[in-house]
Chains A and B, each alone.
Chain A
Amino acid sequence: MRDAGGVTRRSFLAAAAVVAGAGLVGGLPMPLRGGSPKSSRVVVIRHEALAAEGQGGQGPAPERVRELLDEAVKTLTADAKAADAWARWFKPTDRVGIKVNCMGYVTRPAVALATAAGLGAIGLAPQQTIIWDRTSDDLRRAGYDLGNATKAPRCFGTDALGDRGTAGYEAKIVTSGGIGSFFSRIVTDEATALVSACILKDHNLAGLSCGLKNFFGAIHNPNKYHDNGCDPFIADVCAAPPIRDRLRLAVCDALRPQYNGGPPGRPQWQWAYGGLIVSTDPVALDRVALEILEKKRAAAGLKPLEAEKRPARYLASAQARGLGTADLASIEVVSIGKPWNEI
């Protein structure tokens, strides 16, 4: 799918530079954590090309998304080349599981494919990358192509590993805080590293569904953990070793986020934000996503999530478990293109 707006890479960079400043595009000093006064960095790249609905609602073309994603990861690490940025997090020998969200309003395939392409730039063969969720049927319904195992990333659900017993889940139960679950064998057997390729959307119980809640799709019994706004269960799932030890990057599809009525897709509450959000701190990414969601809700005349008794309280639990930073004041949000907090 071609960009309807006809924006070139050059014009994009020019626009980005206006807003973000030469320092950002040219390379920011990039201590990921520790050296900056802020403890976590989140990069939000926005471009009208990302807001395109595309043919069949599939969003913009993967190559366009990849180009912009590369810009985002370069900014995240202050590397001149995107491959150098990807190489900070992944080794050519890694097997990377790209966890997408196929429940209700779904992560667009273009975002997952752009992530896979980024990984390909550091030498990962297509077979070393798996785009996955709970079931292959879920992926098909979400528009993912499960057909090509050689040229494209592999793509299948946990259930596809059912011949290894227990429906594709590991036989050993993992206890983490309040949860006791079997984790997908895609995580435990296949992947050495994970990317949370999530979508920014409202959630009727947790308030927000983004990079952390995405991993409810990694366990066999997510239905057990929706009480109390999914708190602390979202944090407990992500703090479990199978996830915590592998999660290296979160890439959020904020192309057309949904600010109300989630998790099912409700077009009347989606808007053209035109963004990708990336961070190595999944808690910080979710916190920024929450801020975007709340600002849009306010602009649309909706109550804050707190007033609807569904604040994203899991963020504080995630910070308490050392998964990242939930304090917005401690997060460095870097915009490329339109400012991240301009709704």
Chain B
Amino acid sequence: MRDNDTLRGEDQLLPSPRRGRGGGGEGEVAGQGHPSPGLRPPSPPRGEGQLLSSRRAFLQAVGAGACAACAACLPAKRSAAAEADDTHVRIAVHDAKWFERLPDKAVKCQLCPRECTVADVERGYCGVRENRGGDYKTLVYGALCSLNIDPIEKKPLFHYLPGTTALSVATVGCNMECKFCQNWNVSQYRPEQVESLLVPPENLARMAKAATIKNPEKPCLTVAYTYTEPVVFSEYVLDAAANARSQRIGSTIISNGYIREPALRDLCKYLTAVKVDLKAFTEKFYAEQCAAKLAPVLSTLEVLHDIGIHTEIVMLVIPTLNDSAEEIGAMAKWIATHMSSDVPVHFSRFHPMYRVKNLPPTPVETLDRARKVSMDAGLRYVYVGNVPFHAGESTYCPGCGKIVIKRVGYNVDVVGLRSGACGSCGRKIAGIWSQDEALAFKPKEKTAAK
């Protein structure tokens, strides 16, 4: 069984999140507006075999090139706290963007639709952004709790550089609280509760390039901000994606889409693709299951379409909660109307997790029905996820029906795609099919209607 972009221990280059062991702020990189470039690559604390093992795994995966790349930029200066525990941190402080100052040292966060009003010493809903004396800070700038090399299909992105891999990273934190969260063991924690590794933004592209040197058959062309919610660490995404673009590496966020438009447009200056979890198509579901609202997510999808960035949508289909044909049909029509019939949509199988353990895994028939309803509504590229060997994993030409990309699990065979078109009938297949095309993306200016 595989879960789209769900953390599994065997997949991780870093260990599963290690929890704090006392000391609270131990390892905090305090007072650094911006971490020094090129802090050391992940290294284990003394006596921690698990992490050492994982670090080895990482170095093996990315090859000697990564070591060279990272060692070449050892820090000129590190904080005392970082010195104390090398690059292991729980909190990595950096100035936040996207907020407004209020009287009495309060701030109003402008990053996501929650627009938290945060008093001095308090944090926003996400738990990773804190008001310190009227200055708003992110506490997770470069503090990675997860670092893996995944197939791009695992994100899942099916119409974006198929067969390549993505350096996949995350910090803790999320601006929703989905009761069915598949990565709750990092997304729902606060930074001081998880030991992370400090990786400055400019190291990510180097790591991706090193991974390609190690495994040219599966080139690592993208950095994916994923697993938890990249919106909550947008400052890091922005800086790392800008750097990656300059090094000809793409960037994508795997997001719940809960972000305000100005921040989204800022990020899209450097991103090359976006995947959005559209968790349901009712406000009731969002309110009861996610402690959030649907409307801002739909707004995000419209903005993404307006920007013109490659976007794919995933819906985790949960029995009885969001699986009705009516709801899925309405969602498909909305996507076709407000975005495009060419937007790839994935219906993923739910597995009992976190606070929703009383429901069974999604029957495959339910996913089949969702796929059919959506295609009947006009969507051209609809997939079934988390069901290995399902025919709905492959891409079919909407013109002639021939397979253009065959997928079996993460085995990808581009069998019928020629220069972005169907090899049989010549119909253009929507997507980003080369790194040049990905890096050529420039966001469109905001239209008056948006």
Alpha-carbon distance A139/B447, docked complex (angstroms): 52
Chain B residue numbers with a CB within 8 Å of A224 are 125, 127, 177, 188, 291
Is B22 part of the contact surface with A, judged by Cβ < 8 Å? Answer: yes
B193–A167 touching, CB < 8 Å: yes
B119–A223 touching, CB < 8 Å: no
Tell me, rounded to whole Å, the shortest Cβ–Cβ distance linking A140 to chain B.
8
- When C-beta atoms are compared, the residue in chain B nearest to A204 turns out to be B119
B125–A226 touching, CB < 8 Å: yes
Alpha-carbon distance A232/B105, docked complex (angstroms): 27
A180–B126 touching, CB < 8 Å: no
Chain A residue numbers with a CB within 8 Å of B125 are 223-224, 226-227
Chain B residue numbers with a CB within 8 Å of A221 are 127, 177, 188-190
Interface centre among A162, A169, A173 (most CB of B within 10 A): A162
Is B20 part of the contact surface with A, judged by Cβ < 8 Å? Answer: yes
- When C-beta atoms are compared, the residue in chain A nearest to B21 turns out to be A162
Looking at chain A's contact residues, the main secondary structure is: mixed
- When C-beta atoms are compared, the residue in chain A nearest to B119 turns out to be A204
Considering only residues 181-203 of chain A, those with a C-beta below 8 Å from chain B are none
- When C-beta atoms are compared, the residue in chain B nearest to A160 turns out to be B22
- When C-beta atoms are compared, the residue in chain A nearest to B126 turns out to be A223
Is A104 part of the contact surface with B, judged by Cβ < 8 Å? Answer: yes
Is A321 part of the contact surface with B, judged by Cβ < 8 Å? Answer: no
Chain A residue numbers with a CB within 8 Å of B25 are 135, 137
Which of B21, B117, B123 is within 8 Å of A223, CB to CB?
B123
Chain B residue numbers with a CB within 8 Å of A168 are 19-20, 22
Do A167 and B194 contact each other (CB < 8 Å), given the known contacts A173-B354, A175-B355, A204-B106?
yes
Interface residue total, chain B, C-beta cutoff 8 A:
32
Is A262 part of the contact surface with B, judged by Cβ < 8 Å? Answer: yes
Binary per-residue interface labels of chain B (110-147) against chain A in the complex, 1 for a CB within 8 Å, 0 otherwise: 00000011011111111100000000000000000000
Is A59 part of the contact surface with B, judged by Cβ < 8 Å? Answer: no
* 22 A-B pairs (CB sep. < 8 Å): A103-B122, A104-B119, A104-B120, A135-B25, A136-B23, A137-B24, A159-B193, A162-B21, A167-B189, A167-B193, A168-B22, A173-B355, A180-B177, A180-B179, A180-B354, A205-B117, A220-B193, A221-B127, A221-B177, A223-B126, A223-B190, A224-B125
User: A residues engaging B (CB < 8 A)?
Assistant: 103-104, 134-138, 156-157, 159-163, 165-169, 173, 175, 180, 204-205, 220-221, 223-224, 226-227, 261-264, 266
User: B residues engaging A (CB < 8 A)?
Assistant: 19-25, 104-106, 116-117, 119-127, 177, 179, 188-190, 192-194, 291, 354-355
Known: A136-B22, A224-B291. 20 other contacts (CB 8 A): A103-B122, A104-B119, A135-B25, A159-B20, A159-B22, A162-B19, A163-B22, A166-B19, A167-B20, A167-B192, A167-B194, A168-B20, A175-B355, A220-B189, A220-B190, A220-B193, A223-B126, A224-B188, A226-B125, A263-B121
